[in-house]
Chain A
Amino acid sequence: MTEYAVRMRKITKRFGALIANDHISLDLRWGSIHGLLGENGAGKTTLMNILYGLYHPDQGEIEVDGHPVRIDSPLQAMELDIGMVHQHFMLVRPFTVTENIVLGLPSARRPFLDLKAATRRIEELSAKYQLKIDPSARIWQLSVGEAQRVEILKNIYLDTRILILDEPTTVLTPQEIRELFEIMRLMKADGKSIILITHKLEEILAVTDEISVLRAGKLVGNTPTDRTTRNELTRMMVGRNVLFDFSRKRTRPGRAVLKARRVSALGDKGLPALREVSFEVRKGEILGVAGVAGNGQKELCQVLSGLRPVTSGRVFLGERDFTNRPPKEFIDNQMAYIPEDRQETGLVMEAGLTKNFIIKNFDRRPFSRRGFLNGPAVKKNAGQLIEEFNIKTVSGQARAKELSGGNQQKVVLAREISSKPKILIANQPTHGLDVGATEYVRQCLLDQRGEGVGVLLISADLDEIFQLSDRIAVIFKGEIMDIIDRPDAQLELVGRLMAGSREEGAA
């Protein structure tokens, strides 16, 4: 056995114009847990899908246990003892744990299944790794955490020696996360190697031996875990390379147009997602909210636009209390909102652009006339917006899903800005966009600020926050850590706050 379980050399993978992996090298030692850290879209999953044979790299080499290999399919990966647990489980829900595990495997008693022997072995392995799985339980009866352990058990059963876990903790409760880490340590003690994909710092610091950080498709750092700090990792993850220079006109912010007063709310799983959040956005300013994704940003936007109920605290538009009012009232009071997931929330992917442009104001003039849609006005609106925002499409009839990501975002932007808002909430507005579209979107936000709109910009991209914001708030675990004026904001300070530490100079 050589020192390394896997060595990936200068792996490059392109999807059209997008370079998902740009000459990435990664070494995984036997008997170690290797953290692969990076934000959404940094290229972590792509890299691991290459190792698992789901994608083929455009360039680069892979060695497994010292031998150069070509992995064209997951089947070949499995033959090399490489296993992967995806974010979405690949389990047959009506089947039992045992049935799922032996699915597709040769049986000793062919053509019959040997479920008894399999069950016995599963029980043994489950006990050994403290997985606490009942082999006769059916998948649909299991919690998400248990289903995940079944996936891991399946890999152990297959004698997987190199296991890839893709964001395994996003679906787990804190207790389940602790249990998962325990299982991972037991596997490591057995000489197995694990790659943990995540964007959560604490997890990576808690369980890994070595960390590689990806950013925008590039490897930006590699370090033993005990020789790094949260702050350093945060900095590597969000980076600091100024892409563009924007001329920011000086504006004098006016009165507050949007206020949150000690707002708390629950997340989708019923756990607290926002804790006593307070801030105000003033006319003609951009308030940037910095934070690593998944710290309550989505919930914050939903609360501020009426899509999620507030459990305590108040939301004001201007001086008026809008706490827990329906979304319609926020829209009618000139709030525009660019959601973080344009393909799920922002657009009807199956509908034409013409329709997507009017989803918020189809019931108002000129689009509605005596209860009927005004066809010519709707069409004219689409033509104007396509031209004004330079949206690349064959026609207004084209469906949203036929457009590129950048142009989809322009459709959302066009619709929201053309509603002449007083408040604009933009959540990760440039996420997944190429350089050109990113620049366009950022300029649009600055223009809106110049026209006196109060902009709330939520972004995990520190460049974006520093380029655009007049004031910077930092969110961590649903709390606003601090709000700093842009001239006083230093990268180190913001990075530290993003990592959750308030003390000056603390690591």
Chain B
Amino acid sequence: MKSGAGRTARILPAVLPPLISVLLAFIVGGLLLILLGYNPLEAYAMLFRGAFGSTNRICEILVKAAPLIILALGISIAFKSQIWNIGGDGQFTIGAIFSVWVALNVGLPPVLLAPLTFLAAFAGGAFWGGIAGLLKSRFNANEVITTLMLNYIAVYILGWLVLGPMMDPAGHGFPQTQLVGEALRMPILIAHTRLHGGIILALIMVVLIYFFWKTTLGFRIELVGKSVKVARYAGINVPRTMVLTMVISGGMAGIAGWCEVFGIHYRLLDHLAAGYGYLAIVVALLADLNPIGIIISAFFFSALMVGGATMERMAGIPFSLVDIIEGLVIIFVISRVIYTRWRGDRA
């Protein structure tokens, strides 16, 4: 049996670096606030109260965390395989489009239609991620570039759809589709809040990913990430594994899109993804791609966003502070990775 002390000794080295990264980000952010003539302690107190000041706000945090967790899990799969999927936004968007199209156009009873929308979302994201995977494996096209470009294509497709073929005819010209049927929507967990079942879905996904890494497919993806050369030698079809990795990673992003549409908006809107895909990268990196870590770091960034919005309204401190802290967290996380790699090289 593992002793409690032994477990602490293992967890601490894993938890400490991200905590320090966050702390440093807040300290540097505080210095910036002083330079701009704000009281940093006051600002941070406002940020905290803004995030946790009421049930409603805590619920908002969870609402934001749900798609972030699912997206970050998807991204962690690609990153573990050393495939830099920057296309969370695009895959999220296409997943949402597929699922809403199915919801609005397929005539089936809700019991069958609801799971079908879910599958459509996965398929949409998987399709979009798969394109980048295919381009990488076939033509050695850099996935950072392709996924980024596919993001723009997805956003413009969405913009065209909600202003064109899929626009709500009774919507007074708003760039949005009709609402999906009420029976298809995710249940609200706490009355008078927007907290929907998405957070539970996200937690289920965490469990699934945990088991995913124990499958032979997970092992294969990990092996390709560790060394393409060894993987080829071990008889693994590396190109096919890369495509599959992007299909799964994109599919997860699609599910995040489903979660956002069927949990909150109930329809497609212009600019639906709103940068979630990029934030999810930070979430995944801060968590060092660990599923449990992803829950915590998604919660942290969601709280930052909710608190930042309140802080701006109440204290007049610009929301950009939140962006700055996000940026600083990235810098510190990456600095640490580079530092350890540098030390590893010298050792």
Instruction: List residues of chain A with CB under 8 Å of any chain B CB.
Output: 305, 307, 326-328, 330-332, 337, 339, 344-351, 355, 358-360, 362-363, 367-368, 371-373, 375
- Is the CB of B41 closer than 8 A to any CB of chain A? no
A371-B215, A371-B216, A372-B214 known; A345 and B233 CB under 8 Å?
A: yes
Which residues of chain A are near B231, meaning CB under 8 Å?
A: 359
> In the docked arrangement, what's the CA distance between A413 and B252, Å?
40
CB < 8 Å: which of B211, B216, B230, B236 contacts A347? B230
Which residues of chain B are near A368, meaning CB under 8 Å?
A: 216
Which residues of chain A are near B214, meaning CB under 8 Å?
A: 372-373, 375
Which residues of chain A are near B230, meaning CB under 8 Å?
A: 344-348, 359
Q: Mark B207-236, 1 if CB is under 8 A from A, else 0.
A: 000010011110110010011011111111
Which residues of chain B are near A348, meaning CB under 8 Å?
A: 223, 226-227, 230
**Total count of chain B residues near the partner, CB < 8 A:** 19
Which residues of chain A are near B232, meaning CB under 8 Å?
A: 307, 327
Q: How far is the CB of B221 from chain A (nearest CB, A)?
A: 12
Contacts A339-B233, A371-B215 known; list 18 others, CB within 8 Å: A326-B237, A327-B232, A327-B233, A331-B234, A331-B235, A337-B233, A344-B227, A345-B230, A346-B233, A348-B226, A348-B230, A355-B219, A359-B230, A359-B231, A363-B216, A367-B216, A372-B215, A373-B219
CB < 8 Å: which of A326, A344, A350 contacts B226? A350
- Please determine whether B235 and A327 come into contact, CB atoms closer than 8 angstroms: yes
| 14 contacting pairs across A/B (C-beta < 8 A) | A307-B233, A328-B235, A330-B235, A344-B230, A345-B229, A347-B230, A348-B226, A349-B227, A355-B219, A359-B223, A362-B219, A371-B215, A372-B216, A373-B219
> In the docked arrangement, what's the CA distance between A367 and B231, Å?
17
Residue of A328, A330, A367 contacting most chain B CB atoms (<10 Å): A328
- Please determine whether B233 and A373 come into contact, CB atoms closer than 8 angstroms: no
Which residues of chain B are near A326, meaning CB under 8 Å?
A: 235, 237
Which residues of chain A are near B229, meaning CB under 8 Å?
A: 344-345
> In the docked arrangement, what's the CA distance between A371 and B237, Å?
17
- Please determine whether A371 and B217 come into contact, CB atoms closer than 8 angstroms: yes
The secondary structure that dominates the B interface is helix
Which residues of chain A are near B235, meaning CB under 8 Å?
A: 326-328, 330-332, 360
> In the docked arrangement, what's the CA distance between A332 and B235, Å?
9
Q: How far is the CB of B347 from chain A (nearest CB, A)?
A: 10
Residue on B nearest A350 in the bound complex, by CB? B226
> In the docked arrangement, what's the CA distance between A219 and B268, Å?
77
Which residues of chain B are near A328, meaning CB under 8 Å?
A: 235-237
Q: Mark B306-328, 1 if CB is under 8 A from A, else 0.
A: 00000000000000000000000
Which residues of chain B are near A362, meaning CB under 8 Å?
A: 216, 219-220
Q: How far is the CB of B88 from chain A (nearest CB, A)?
A: 26
Q: How far is the CB of A305 from chain B (nearest CB, A)?
A: 8
> In the docked arrangement, what's the CA distance between A351 and B232, Å?
16
Q: How far is the CB of A256 from chain B (nearest CB, A)?
A: 23
Q: How far is the CB of A426 from chain B (nearest CB, A)?
A: 14
Which residues of chain B are near A339, meaning CB under 8 Å?
A: 233
Q: How far is the CB of A336 from chain B (nearest CB, A)?
A: 12
Residue on A nearest B231 in the bound complex, by CB? A359
List the 6 closest A-B pairs by CB distance, nearest first.
Answer: A328-B235, A359-B234, A331-B235, A327-B235, A348-B226, A363-B216
Q: How far is the CB of B135 from chain A (nearest CB, A)?
A: 21
Residue on A nearest B226 in the bound complex, by CB? A348
Which residues of chain A are near B219, meaning CB under 8 Å?
A: 355, 358, 362, 373
> In the docked arrangement, what's the CA distance between A371 and B218, Å?
10
Residue on B nearest A359 in the bound complex, by CB? B234
Which residues of chain B are near A355, meaning CB under 8 Å?
A: 219, 223
Q: How far is the CB of A94 from chain B (nearest CB, A)?
A: 19
Q: How far is the CB of A366 from chain B (nearest CB, A)?
A: 12
Which residues of chain A are near B216, meaning CB under 8 Å?
A: 362-363, 367-368, 371-373
- Please determine whether B234 and A360 come into contact, CB atoms closer than 8 angstroms: yes
